[in-house]
Structures are given as C-alpha cells and as structure tokens.
Amino acid sequence: MDTSKAYHTWRKLKSLAMSGASFGCALLAIAPLGFVLFYLIKAGAGSLDWRFFTHLPTPVGEVGGGMANAIVGTLVLLGLASLIGVPVGVLGGIYLAEYGAERVNWWIRFGADILNGVPSIVWGIVAYTLVVIPMKGFSAYAGGVALGFMMIPLITRTTEEVLLLVPNGYREAALALGIPRWKMIIRIVAKTALKGIITGVLLAQARIAGETAPLLFTAFGNRFWTHNLKDPIAALPLQIFTYAISPYDDWHRQAWAGALVLILMILFVNIGVRALTRGKLSGVGR
C-alpha cells in the first residue's frame, strides 16, 4: 500500500514537472521576438531621423546619409512583384475554389505548398537565368521577377481559402438569374471576398518585403536613385545586409535603423491584418 502511494505521488510529481517543462518551452519560444525587438528599438530608434528617410547613402567614411533610395526601391520591387504575383495568384486561387476537380486541386495545392518550401535563394538563381542573363545585367525587373514568383503560391492559397468562405447560395442565386459563370465569379464571388483577397496580397507582400537572398544577384542594390527599371535598384533588406557586414560603425548604426523601419512595416501589416480578420488567415505571415 505504501509503495503504491509513493508511486502515485511520483506520477503526480512527474506530471507536474513535465507541465512546468512545457510552460518553460512556451516561454523560451516567445522570448526571441522580445530580444530581437528590444535590440532593434534600442539600437535603431536613436539612428532614425528625418535624414534617414530623405537622403541617399553617403560615400564610404562620411558620416550621415539615409536610405531613401532603398525604401523607395523596396516599394518599387514590391510593385513589380505584385504585377506578376497578384494576377497569377488570384486567378489560380479562383480556379482552385471555383472550377478544379478534387484530384487536380490536390496536386496544385500540393505543388504550391512544395514551392513555398523552396529556399528563397533558389528564386534568385531562377530570376538570374530568366532575366539577368538575357538582359545582360542586374535590374529592378529581375528582382521583381524573383519576388513575384515567390508570391504566386502564397496568393494562390489564400485566395482559394477566402473564396471558399463565400456561401454557395450566392453562386446559386447568381447562376439562377442567368449570369454567366465567369461574370458570377468576378462580380459576385470575388467581390464578396475582396477584403480577404486583399488581405492575402498584403500578407504576401509583407512576407517578401524582407527577402534578401533572391535580390542579391538580381536587383543587386544601388547607392543612388534608380531612374530606369533596367538598372540595378536598392532594397532595404539588401542595404541592411551590406551595412551589417561592413566594418564601419556608422553603417552598423544605419543597418539597425533600416532594420527597425523594415520590421515596423512588416509587423504593421501583419498586426493590422490580424486585427481586421481576427485570425481567419492565421499562419500566412511566413
């Protein structure tokens, strides 16, 4: 009797210990975000000033300057990427939700999920082969293509997801009125789900805005304004990378400031979208 009681206590203790351990895991899992944000704010906020947003980088050795061209460059690249990623992704998502047979859909979804796992640097190589070699030089176009390809599977999946939330009654009602199917899809289904589609696009943009690897040998970076999209263009993540591995203190300072701006942009979109959709689209941020 005594031993069984001792065993019972032991089991309870063990259970308590494991519960404590899993709580510890959860604490450790949320700690890194805190650490990273803390240092970003600590090191970045002091370096953020008006010049950072309005000036070009200064030549090596000169203190000051900003990342205006990199911020604009990132926006330009996002725009170019969206030109590829949004139409292809949204129409692909429409096919999955509205037309596809179960089998075909399974394969396409599977393919999209696999593509999501392809390392971003590989997309850089693809864009290099498709754009940089034929155009004989690094360009904003090449960077846009690399990022655009990355957007396609992301947007395809979210679009499908939100279209499936539209009640079937809407479709049936529209078809019963004699509206052709394509018009029904665009005017009724897509319009109803428009907010969700835009949300998906924004999240995909937030995801690729921080990508550096695919831009290294496509957009390449530029210390000046880019007036022609056939020329190399600066991007915020690229600039952060270049500055972070440089030996200059002033550049390190600016790398932190750039990182703070970048993370604020990304978290702003992520948190905003989450607040608006209340977790309907959770997990698309990455």
Q: How many CB atoms lie within 10 A of CB 191?
A: 13
Q: How many CB atoms lie within 10 A of CB 265?
A: 18
Measured CA distances, 199 to 181, 255, 274, 284 (Å): 25, 29, 9, 10
Q: Does 181 bind another protein (CB under 8 A)?
A: yes
We find the least distance from the C-beta atom of residue 154 to another protein, in angstroms, to be 6
> Closest CB to another protein among 56 and 122?
122
Question: In this chain, which stretch among 52-60, 71-79, 101-109, 165-173 interacts with another protein, using CB under 8 A?
Answer: 101-109
> What tokens does 25 get?
């895991």
Among 24, 64, 79, 167, the residue binding another protein under the rule CB under 8 A is: 24
Q: What are phi and psi of 57, to 5 degrees?
A: -60, 145
Measured CA distances, 165 to 155, 212, 214 (Å): 16, 34, 33
Size of the chain in residues: 286
> Closest CB to another protein among 60 and 114?
114
Question: In this chain, which stretch among 33-41, 50-58, 65-73, 139-147 interacts with another protein, using CB under 8 A?
Answer: 33-41
Question: In this chain, which stretch among 55-63, 175-183, 191-199, 222-230 interacts with another protein, using CB under 8 A?
Answer: 175-183
Residue numbers 206-235 binding another protein by CB under 8 A? 206-207, 209-213, 216-217, 220
> Closest CB to another protein among 69 and 205?
205
Full DSSP string of 68-100: HHHHHHHHHHHHHHHHHHHHHHHHHHHIIIII-
We find the least distance from the C-beta atom of residue 190 to another protein, in angstroms, to be 11
Among 48, 66, 73, 98, the residue binding another protein under the rule CB under 8 A is: 98
Residue numbers 55-84 binding another protein by CB under 8 A? none
> Closest CB to another protein among 65 and 285?
285
Rounded to an integer, what distance in angstroms lies between the CA atom of residue 188 and that of residue 169? 11
Residue numbers 2-21 binding another protein by CB under 8 A? 11-12, 14-15, 17-19, 21
Angle 236-244/68-94 helices, nearest 10 degrees? Answer: 130
> Closest CB to another protein among 120 and 192?
120
In one letter, which amino acid is 10?
Answer: W
Residue numbers 114-173 binding another protein by CB under 8 A? 114-126, 128-130, 138, 149, 152-154, 156-157, 161
DSSP three-state, residue 220: strand
Q: Does 106 bind another protein (CB under 8 A)?
A: yes
Q: How many CB atoms lie within 10 A of CB 139?
A: 24
Among 266, 276, 277, 280, the residue binding another protein under the rule CB under 8 A is: 266
